[in-house]
Chain A
Amino acid sequence: MALLEVKNIIKNFINTKKILVLDNVSFDIDKNEFLAIVGPSGCGKSTLLRIIASLETPDSGVVLFHDKPLLATTPEITMVFQQFGLLPWKTVLENIELPLEMHGFKSKERREIATRFLKDVGLEDFKDICPHGLSGGMKQRVGIARALALEPEIMLMDEPFSSLDALTAETLRKEVLNIWTDKSNVTDNIIMVTHSIEEAVFMADRILVLSMRPSKILSDIKINIPRPREKYQRDRKLFDYVDEIKNLIIKDIQTSDHQNNLCH
């Protein structure tokens, strides 16, 4: 039985005219899986993630979580944002505590939980600072700690590293993997949207490749590289996967360009 089932999702954006973004997208997620979603820019991968987060509602189709339709945001599914989404007027610690407060944790308990997760991301010394004074990497660490503090079953990540510089991004990727594989961590599932194929291959168990708009699932690829992956960073296998996915996307872009040209 799947943990999360995405069934026949259709989503239009209505601007001046109706644009079909997601065209009948379906997939399942099993327990203990790190799923990455990649695809050409503007293909609707973030929209798909936001539908799973209940930030947007699909025009048709349903997301089943533990076999029940997902109708509103739940503490069991949390999110890490590309632009961090931290409240600039709250300190680092308060930013992590606030969602806990919303879900009924008592003051002492949430202080304890927030401190623990802040330690996990190595920011315990910065707990009383406002986000304004932090670097991008530190802000995203707070974002991750906030998402994990509710101990959700699924953590969603929307381009979590693309606002960071290359070196910071690389360190943070490894940290996320370390936290995820850590036995004490209860969050077993991660769904990450990214435009970096290398990042997806390096981190995920499975990759969904979406097509150009209107997006369908182009391919569903299992990444058979053992963990920890650091040893395989320069491994042939990893690059083969990257090439395979890149070719898929490039071919898709070319054919849809071709079709567009025919239309004009």
Chain B
Amino acid sequence: MNKSRRRYLISFVIGSALLTLLYFSIMNSIKNPEISNLPYYTFRSLLRISIAYFLSLAIGLTFGIGSAVNKKISAIITPTFDILQSIPILGYFPAVIVIILGIIPGIIGLEMASIFLLFTSMTWAIFFGVYDSARSIPINILDAAKSFGIKGFQFIRHVMIPAIMPAIISGSFLAWCDGWFFMIAAEYITYAGEVRSLPGLGSFLAKSAYVYNDVNLSATILILITSIVLFINYLIWHRLTDKVSGYAHMIKLGFFGLPHNEKHNKKRLTIQFKFRHRVVSKSKTRAYTTHQRLISIIIVAVIFFSVIFYIMKKIPTIDIVEKNILVPEISKLPVYAFFTLSRLSIAYIIALGIAIFMGVLAAEKKKFAMVFYPLYDIGQAVPILALFPILSVYVSHFVGGRLGLEVTAITMLVLDMIWYMFLNIVVAVKSIPEETREVSKIFGFKGIKRIKHIILPAIMPAIVTGSILAWGTGWNTVIFAEYMPHGNEVISIPGLGSFLSKEGYEEGNTILLIFILFVISSIVILMEKFIWKKLLAKTEKYEIEA
């Protein structure tokens, strides 16, 4: 048995032992009528998330490879997926529940809706990863394959699959983390004014906060979930990363990613960064023809039209649409948009400041890296949405009501956004070429001057990519965090998210819901077009190959 396998085996045994111990002590020390179900809940959540994962993998692989090898498929699929990707998942969840429960009522329908939500949260990362990497197989390898007669099934087996393997693994890792992120939203659902929950860790966490008013139990479950995520990250994804490390510059890491070797850790971060960066910057700068755009918009419009048709049981005429959209609250829409955007912006600026500070320190000073890297690993594994019930209760001890919720929402957004930017910044600082550093030394750049002229320009592209990712995840978090079902009452703060949740979950006004979604997606796409794409193009010239 080689050394790396032995280390994995040891950490598997120790990790399992620690988890068992954690379960044992939680189940024995906490008094709650449902506590004995904890292993069963874990099993259900794992099962749910695994089914969603394998579905996303199958769809992502099929369409990803299909689009990469066939231009006709790609012309339709890629721009359509790009639009769908820019719609916040939690925004269309109410509509999904209505439809699926309409077809299959009861617990099975609910289970399917929840799997569907998890599936949509996972599949984009895998699809775009597979698509981009399948298209970027080096031309010399393609030539060699062709010239030596490697084609058809053999080509897929010997060239395509190994070439996209690193992307499948990185994409799967991200998808898996995203799945846990959305778990609480997928298991604890308010629908038509009442709460429906599926057995699982996420719903148990929410119930302990909202029903049992036992926030300490919620916090304990959150710690448990985080430990499980870390354990699986290490055992499965990092192990698989290891397997392709021979050819893909991927490298192993210690438990929790603690730097047993500074160089290795940097490389691992680089891989995660590279993957995300490639997926983001490629999809944001992907050029579509007007023709392709039009087709994709038509496809998306048809999807929504059929959704409305299905729910209303009739063709939506202008009258019906008008009646549904022109509720009294609609006049407040601009104000709501303003509030939500302000919330996001405030959180973004705080997160950006902290991320730059932490990122530069971690990359430049080993001492800080020793603290910040593990913090990153854990912070990234915490499913932020699950933090919501806990945080809101803790915050309400100091500030109650709406202001309390406001503070909770912004804190969650900061915690959610920060790690995307942190990772990108660390890698960018690390990949400033030695030569540039030497230039700054020889010509005497120090302190502020060094940061202004060397560090900041070097990390600019990374900040832009990190920001795109941060805003993307931020939209979902803000939709979730503006609206809190607490027992039988609801606390909400004005914004697009609470408006959407209210119309979707309480009123069941699907047309209005889709209209709000359309507004949100338009904001996302406009920001992309007028802010991120411009910034990406501007910073591209100082891009340093990571």
Q: Is the CB of A89 within 8 A of B149?
A: no
- For A84, the chain B residues whose CB sits under 8 A away are 140
In the complex, which residue of chain A has the Cβ closest to the Cβ of B148?
A99
Q: Which among A50, A83, A150 has the greatest number of chain B C-beta atoms within 10 A?
A: A83
Q: Is the CB of B246 within 8 A of A130?
A: yes
Task: Assess whether A136 is interfacial by the CB under 8 Å rule.
Answer: no
Q: Is the CB of A89 within 8 A of B246?
A: yes
Min CB distance, B139 to chain A, in Å?
A: 8
Neighbour of A98 across the interface among B140, B150, B244, B248, CB < 8 A: B150
Min CB distance, B335 to chain A, in Å?
A: 49
Task: Assess whether A201 is interfacial by the CB under 8 Å rule.
Answer: no
Q: Which residues of A from 141 to 160 have beta carbons under 8 Å from B?
A: 146, 150
Task: Assess whether B159 is interfacial by the CB under 8 Å rule.
Answer: yes
Per-residue B-contact encoding for A73-89, CB less than 8 Å = 1, 0 else:
10100110111111111
Task: Assess whether A167 is interfacial by the CB under 8 Å rule.
Answer: no
Q: Which residues of B from 131 to 181 have beta carbons under 8 Å from A?
A: 138, 140-141, 143-150, 154, 158-159, 162-163, 165
Min CB distance, A127 to chain B, in Å?
A: 15
Min CB distance, B40 to chain A, in Å?
A: 41
In the complex, which residue of chain B has the Cβ closest to the Cβ of A72?
B149
Neighbour of B147 across the interface among A53, A87, A131, CB < 8 A: A53
Task: Assess whether A263 is interfacial by the CB under 8 Å rule.
Answer: no
Neighbour of A55 across the interface among B138, B146, B165, CB < 8 A: B146
- For B138, the chain A residues whose CB sits under 8 A away are 83
Q: Is the CB of B162 within 8 A of A87?
A: yes
- Report if A98-B147 is in contact (Cβ < 8 Å); known contacts: A84-B140, A85-B141, A89-B246: no
Q: Is the CB of B162 within 8 A of A73?
A: no
Task: Assess whether B247 is interfacial by the CB under 8 Å rule.
Answer: yes
Task: Assess whether A68 is interfacial by the CB under 8 Å rule.
Answer: no
Q: Is the CB of B147 within 8 A of A89?
A: no
Q: Is the CB of B247 within 8 A of A98?
A: no
Q: Which residues of A from 77 to 133 have beta carbons under 8 Å from B?
A: 78-79, 81-90, 98-99, 102-103, 130-132
Q: Is the CB of B247 within 8 A of A89?
A: yes
Q: Which residues of B from 427 to 441 have beta carbons under 8 Å from A?
A: none
In the complex, which residue of chain A has the Cβ closest to the Cβ of B246?
A130
Q: Is the CB of A90 within 8 A of B158?
A: yes
Q: Is the CB of A83 within 8 A of B149?
A: no
Q: Is the CB of B143 within 8 A of A78?
A: no
Q: Is the CB of B140 within 8 A of A82?
A: yes
- Report if A79-B246 is in contact (Cβ < 8 Å); known contacts: A89-B165, A90-B158, A102-B154: no
- For A103, the chain B residues whose CB sits under 8 A away are 149
- Report if A55-B148 is in contact (Cβ < 8 Å); known contacts: A87-B159, A102-B154: no
- How many chain B residues touch A (Cβ–Cβ < 8 Å)? 21
- Report if A81-B148 is in contact (Cβ < 8 Å); known contacts: A89-B165, A89-B244, A89-B247: no
- For B146, the chain A residues whose CB sits under 8 A away are 55, 73
Min CB distance, A51 to chain B, in Å?
A: 12
Q: Is the CB of A99 within 8 A of B150?
A: yes
- Report if A78-B148 is in contact (Cβ < 8 Å); known contacts: A83-B140, A130-B247: yes
In the complex, which residue of chain A has the Cβ closest to the Cβ of B162?
A89
In the complex, which residue of chain B has the Cβ closest to the Cβ of A100?
B148
- For A87, the chain B residues whose CB sits under 8 A away are 141, 144-145, 158-159, 162
- For A132, the chain B residues whose CB sits under 8 A away are 246-247
- For B145, the chain A residues whose CB sits under 8 A away are 87
In the complex, which residue of chain B has the Cβ closest to the Cβ of A143?
B144
The distance in angstroms between the C-alpha atoms of A98 and B159, with both chains bound, is 11
Per-residue A-contact encoding for B55-76, CB less than 8 Å = 1, 0 else:
0000000000000000000000
- For B150, the chain A residues whose CB sits under 8 A away are 98-99, 102
Q: Which among A54, A85, A130, A146 has the greatest number of chain B C-beta atoms within 10 A?
A: A85
Q: Is the CB of A73 within 8 A of B158?
A: no
- For B147, the chain A residues whose CB sits under 8 A away are 53-55, 73, 78-79
Per-residue B-contact encoding for A49-72, CB less than 8 Å = 1, 0 else:
010011100000000000000000
The distance in angstroms between the C-alpha atoms of A81 and B154, with both chains bound, is 21
The distance in angstroms between the C-alpha atoms of A130 and B162, with both chains bound, is 13
In the complex, which residue of chain B has the Cβ closest to the Cβ of A74?
B149
- Report if A99-B247 is in contact (Cβ < 8 Å); known contacts: A87-B141, A87-B162: no
In the complex, which residue of chain A has the Cβ closest to the Cβ of B141?
A85
Q: Is the CB of B148 within 8 A of A98?
A: yes
- For B159, the chain A residues whose CB sits under 8 A away are 87
Q: Which residues of B from 212 to 268 have beta carbons under 8 Å from A?
A: 244, 246-248
The distance in angstroms between the C-alpha atoms of A87 and B143, with both chains bound, is 11
Min CB distance, B149 to chain A, in Å?
A: 5
Neighbour of B149 across the interface among A50, A81, A85, A99, CB < 8 A: A99
Min CB distance, B157 to chain A, in Å?
A: 10
Q: Which residues of B from 420 to 450 have beta carbons under 8 Å from A?
A: none
Q: Is the CB of B247 within 8 A of A85?
A: no
The distance in angstroms between the C-alpha atoms of A152 and B118, with both chains bound, is 53
The distance in angstroms between the C-alpha atoms of A99 and B140, with both chains bound, is 15
- For A53, the chain B residues whose CB sits under 8 A away are 147
Min CB distance, B143 to chain A, in Å?
A: 6
Q: Is the CB of A102 within 8 A of B244?
A: no
- For B158, the chain A residues whose CB sits under 8 A away are 87, 90, 98
In the complex, which residue of chain A has the Cβ closest to the Cβ of B159?
A87
The distance in angstroms between the C-alpha atoms of A198 and B207, with both chains bound, is 80
The distance in angstroms between the C-alpha atoms of A81 and B148, with both chains bound, is 12
Per-residue B-contact encoding for A33-58, CB less than 8 Å = 1, 0 else:
00000000000000000100111000
The distance in angstroms between the C-alpha atoms of A50 and B144, with both chains bound, is 11
The distance in angstroms between the C-alpha atoms of A54 and B162, with both chains bound, is 25
- For A88, the chain B residues whose CB sits under 8 A away are 247-248
Q: Which among B138, B143, B150, B162 has the greatest number of chain A C-beta atoms within 10 A?
A: B143
Q: Which among A53, A84, A87 has the greatest number of chain B C-beta atoms within 10 A?
A: A87
The distance in angstroms between the C-alpha atoms of A83 and B143, with both chains bound, is 10
- For B148, the chain A residues whose CB sits under 8 A away are 73, 78, 98-99, 102, 146, 150
Min CB distance, A135 to chain B, in Å?
A: 16
Q: Is the CB of A102 within 8 A of B247?
A: no
The distance in angstroms between the C-alpha atoms of A102 and B151, with both chains bound, is 9
Min CB distance, B378 to chain A, in Å?
A: 32
Min CB distance, B155 to chain A, in Å?
A: 10
Q: Is the CB of B149 within 8 A of A75?
A: yes
What 5 new A-B contacts, CB under 8 Å, besides A88-B248, A102-B150? Answer: A53-B147, A86-B141, A89-B165, A99-B149, A130-B247
Query: Interface residues, chain B, CB within 8 Å of chain A?
Result: 138, 140-141, 143-150, 154, 158-159, 162-163, 165, 244, 246-248
- What would be 15 A-B contacts, judged by CB atoms less than 8 Å apart? A54-B147, A78-B147, A78-B148, A81-B140, A81-B144, A83-B138, A85-B141, A85-B144, A86-B141, A88-B248, A89-B165, A89-B246, A102-B149, A103-B149, A130-B247
Q: Please list the 8 inter-chain residue pairs (A to B) with the smallest Cβ-Cβ separation, ordered nearest first.
A: A85-B144, A99-B148, A88-B247, A89-B162, A83-B140, A85-B140, A102-B149, A89-B247
